[in-house]
Structures are given as structure tokens and as C-alpha cells.
Amino acid sequence: MTLNETLAAGRLHWPGEDGYEERRLPWQRKFDSRPAAIVEARGPRDVRAALEIMRDNELSLAVQATGHGAVAASDGALLLSTAGMRGVEVDGERWTARARAGTPWADVIAAAAPYGLAPLSGSSAGVGVAGYTLGGGAGLLSRAYGFAADSLVRAHVVTADGSELTATADEHPDLFWALRGGGGNFGIVTELEFRLHPIERMYGGMAMFGATRAADVLARYREWALDEPDELSTSLTVMTVPPLPQMPDAVRGQRVLVLRALYLGAAGEGERLLAPLLEVAGPPLLNGMGPMSFADTSSAFGPPPPPTVGELNIELFHELVDPVLDVVCDPDSPVTAVEVRHWGGAMANPGADAGPCGHRDVPFSVVTTAIAPDREGYPAARAATASVAARLRPHATGGTFLNFLSDPARVATAYTAGDYEALAAIKTAYDPEGVFGRW
């Protein structure tokens, strides 16, 4: 029997064979990954077969769907690609969706829209459902409905020993708790079931302003945001717009302040709520605010970015003191963009059964992004992000959030001490050999 015959519907790709090159790279192109082989899985049986192939050939294992969350290269490993495990079913009466492991949020958004429902996805519809949800998932509706992980109700998992389990609040509740924010290294999730949420009227979008007033707007924002209703989600980003031909003439190559907002309500009320920020920001260079459907969010916050070489850093803050705003607004900043986001709302008020979604009591994050033109420029992007992070950390809590974490060495900082200890124990119980990585 050949190795491919051990797979049910998937394929095994060796270096030099058709399919290997197009599947080996993650979306995050700072890695030029060269796995020993790639298993293109189509279902749970292929996942189990991949584990057998891994052990028979004494390889390590890496798992990848869309590759947005890749934090390490898969050189020399058996790469299990779940991108082909794509599909979604919506139950309009129960307000739930079932999504296979390779499904991007765009598929869920489209399937839920006819029922007047929406998932707790982020601003980029090309991101995969599984990695985003397992890492917590702080999205456009999270202030109103909580983290995406909080809406998870069932997960089908293949564990390190090849067993197929269903994790719910009643079945394997320890594993279910860990999956609701603890990440994907407890097993390979092949399907998720999660709650959808009713959406009627929405107002929001993205507006860009000249960056000269950024400091004044952010000084207003740090006070204003603490009183914004849970139905409103906002962020402010200071960035340099790339000088690319597809960028609008009005902002191409300029340093700008970007307001992203989404309000679950009427346009008039949304405009009233945002007025204190807009009056400080001045006339917009571009104004994309208006009534919208949730499906519009796939394009309203900018087109899906192409595969990117870059570095990301997140720091959390109890308050945005002046030195932090000085870093965010620094006109000589070496990074591409610095985003200030307000958290709170339902994320800070979980149910009694909530999973380990980081530091729920912290109201603000600052996410720093440096984009390089190619892989050779990555070390400079990494150094730029590190230099900005060094200026921010004296004022930060020391905590992070798993979805935005690019340094595996900082995983413990994404959790409270108690949650991290509990996650480590569950990891040992379900994956004692560290097949899916170690803590």
C-alpha cells in the first residue's frame, strides 16, 4: 500500500511534485517553509493518516489552513493542510453554524446573511474560522456578543493518539474549555459549531483623516471610548498608506489616521455617537461611513490583503497615558501602522462557563505592524516592531492576546496565571508527547 492509499480523499505531496510549491507557504510570508512533505486533508480520516505518516517517518507535525496565524516555519516537518476541508451549514432556527476546519469567514458570512444572522468574525473575511476561534477571536461584534470562542458550542477533534472526540460543555468539558481561547495545539479540530447572532441595522465603515490631529483625536478617544455603548466597536490607527496604484489618490503615500467603527443600530444614532471624535479629527480625506449590512464588512474595511511579509506585536493597557500616545503618533515611527483598539463590553462580562480568553479586564490594546517589501526585508521589519514595543512596554500590563501574538515564547503572557496552569495540565492530558507543539 502506498502512502497516498492510506489517505481517504486527501493527497500527499513531496518536494518537487505537483501541488507542493503552492501549498507549502503560509499567508504570512516571513517564512520560506520547506516541509518534508504535505498532507492535503479532506476529512478526519486523512488527519488520522497524517499522524500515522508522521510517526512512521519520525517527523514533527505542523498544521495550516489559511496560514494567517503562522508563527513558526514548518521546515522538515510533515505539514498537514486543512485548507481543503471547507464547508459550512447554517441552522437558521437554532442560530448556529457548523464550519469545517478549512473554512474562511467569508463562507460563513455569506451563508448566514439570508437568515439575518452573523458570526463573530474579524475585519478580514479571508481569515480561517478555526484558528481565529480557537485563539479567542476578537472581532467586529465582540463588544456586543463576546469573543468568538465564547460562542463555540461544539468541536470535533482528532487527538494526538488518533482518537476522534466531540468536545462540548458535557463531553470532554476540560478539552472544550481549553479550545475556547487556548489555541489549537490540544488536537486537530476538524469541525466547529458556534452560535450566530441577529443583525438588523448597522452603521459604520472606515474613514481616513490627515495624521496631524492624531494626538488630539486619541486624547479624546481614551476618555470617550470608556463610555461607548457595547453595540459600538471602534479602533484608531496611525499609518502610512502604501504608495501603490490601487490606493486612492487622496491618501496614497500619506500618513493618515484611520477610524474603523461598527454600530449595531440606526445611522443617525451612530453618527451622533461618533461625533465627539469626528469634530476633533476634522474633514476626512476619505469617508466610507454609512448604513451597511454585515456582508458589507468584507469590503468596507479595505480589500483582503495579499500574502504579506511582516511582523506584529500587541501590548495591553489599563489606560492610555501620554507617553503611549506619543509612541502611537510619532511622525518618525519606523513601523507601518499602530492601532489603538477599545475592548471591553461583552468581552469583559463573560458567562460562568467562559474559556481562557486572555485578559478580559483590560480595556485597550496597541497593535504594531511593520510590513517588509520582501523576505529579505523582514529582519528590518522585526527590528522596527521591537523598537516600538520597547517604548510601549514600560506602560503596558505585560499581557498579550493569542490571535495577535507572533512570538511563541510569549504564549504564557496571553493568559492569566491560573488559566495558563490549567491549560498546561490539559495539554499534558491530551498530548503528553507534544505532538502539536509544547507549552
CA distance 252 to 242: 6
282 in any annotated domain? yes
Residue 13 belongs to domain spanning? 4-81
Q: pLDDT 10s per residue in the chain (439 long)?
A: 345 555 665 789 999 988 899 889 888 899 899 999 999 999 999 999 999 999 999 999 999 988 887 888 899 999 999 999 999 999 999 999 999 999 999 999 999 999 999 999 998 899 999 999 999 999 999 999 999 999 999 999 999 999 999 999 999 999 999 999 999 999 999 999 999 999 988 999 999 999 999 999 999 999 999 999 999 999 999 999 888 777 788 888 899 999 999 999 999 999 999 999 999 999 999 999 999 999 998 888 766 778 889 999 999 999 999 999 999 999 999 999 999 999 999 999 998 889 999 899 999 999 999 999 999 999 999 999 999 999 999 999 999 999 999 888 999 999 999 999 999 999 999 999 999 987 6
435 in any annotated domain? no
How many domains, the chain?
3
326 and 363 housed in the same domain: yes
Backbone dihedral angles phi then psi of residue 429, each to the nearest 5 degrees? -70, -40
Please measure the distance between the N-terminal and C-terminal CA atoms of the chain and give it in whole angstroms.
36
Percent composition of the chain: helix, strand, coil (DSSP 3-state, to 5):
35, 25, 40
212 and 179 housed in the same domain: no
236 and 274 housed in the same domain: yes
Q: What is the DSSP string of 153-201?
A: EEEEEE-TTS-EEEE-SSSSHHHHHHHTTS-STTSEEEEEEEE-EE---
Check which CATH number belongs to the domain holding 334 and give it: 3.40.462.20
| Full-model pTM | 0.94
Check which CATH number belongs to the domain holding 190 and give it: 3.30.465.10
189 and 210 housed in the same domain: no
For residue 84, is it left (φ>0), alpha (ψ between -120 and 50) or beta? alpha
CA distance 264 to 431: 42
CA distance 19 to 61: 19
Residue with cell 510533515: 78
CA distance 270 to 33: 45
Q: Which of 36, 65, 81 lies at the terminal end of a domain, its last residue?
A: 81
| Closest of 94, 326, 310 to residue 222, by C-alpha | 326
Task: Give yes or no for a contact between 254 and 240, defined as CB atoms under 8 angstroms apart.
Answer: yes
226 and 339 housed in the same domain: yes
219 in any annotated domain? yes
| Closest of 150, 111, 112, 103 to residue 131, by C-alpha | 103
Check which CATH number belongs to the domain holding 55 and give it: 3.30.43.10
CA distance 263 to 200: 11
254 in any annotated domain? yes
Cell of 81: 493542510
421 and 397 housed in the same domain: no
Backbone dihedral angles phi then psi of residue 255, each to the nearest 5 degrees? -90, 125
337 and 395 housed in the same domain: yes
Q: Which of 52, 81, 110 lies at the terminal end of a domain, its last residue?
A: 81
376 and 249 housed in the same domain: yes
